Amino acid sequence: MSEVWDGVYQSDNTFFGEEASSFATLCFNHMKSNDVKSVLEIGAGHGRDTMFLASNGLTVEALDYSSRGIEIINKKAIEKKLPVKSQLFDVKKPFPFQDTHFDATYSHMLLNMRFSRAELHSIFSEISRVLKPNGLNYFSVRNHNDQFYGAGVEVEEGIYDINGSEVRFFSEKEILDLINRESFTMVWMKEEYEEPVTLYLVASIKLEKNQ
């Protein structure tokens, strides 16, 4: 499926817009008040949020499995002289970083892609591994209030084909199950409409077992 995203970014290298998402702005403000300096972004796309976070003083590592997306990110980072490193990488595999490396992890609209529940747990376990103690994990996912929820054909348990895009829609309970199982605690959860989708925006913290 990385070819699908390659095609999207090939035909429009600013498909998600040039401006940062409002989720990135929200997270950045929270990161600032929590002394975050280093961020791992997964599913970074063509880097609208990567550039925003890096241009505001954070060191950002970005992963995506679209080679075109990574090419665009590299080009922009060089042009703007920003502290961004990016890698072509499928997040279903163990992340290419040591334990407790990052202050925060961030993903916008990645985890509602075609991942099985087992894959989601393994991604969360990798996120937890590469985060420092008390590290923050920010993510957004499409939810049950999304106008497309209930449309399309179920192609795998909980995943629907909506006009060629494969999407998982999350309930609040599914989010809580996912984060609690990997020892994260919810910091906040909000809902937002980012045309044309409805998302849960989540901040969670990796608490040590005895905290």
Ligand X SMILES: C[S@@+](CC[C@H](N)C(=O)[O-])C[C@H]1O[C@@H](n2cnc3c(N)ncnc32)[C@H](O)[C@@H]1O
Min dist CB 109 to ligand X, Å, is 4
Q: What distance, in Å, lies between the first and last C-alpha atoms of the chain?
A: 40
If one asks whether residue 137 binds ligand X (CB under 6 A), the answer comes out as no
Of 158 and 183, the one with the shorter C-beta distance to ligand X is 158
As a whole number of angstroms, the distance between CA 162 and CA 114 comes to 12
Within 10 angstroms of residue 41's Cβ, the number of other Cβ atoms is: 29
If one asks whether residue 66 binds ligand X (CB under 6 A), the answer comes out as yes
Within 10 angstroms of residue 210's Cβ, the number of other Cβ atoms is: 4
Site for ligand X in 73-92 (CB under 6 A): 90-92
Within 10 angstroms of residue 137's Cβ, the number of other Cβ atoms is: 23
As a whole number of angstroms, the distance between CA 114 and CA 93 comes to 14
Site for ligand X in 106-135 (CB under 6 A): 108-110, 113
Min dist CB 47 to ligand X, Å, is 8
Min dist CB 210 to ligand X, Å, is 33
List residues binding ligand X (CB under 6 A).
2, 5, 16, 21, 43-45, 48, 63-66, 69, 90-92, 108-110, 113
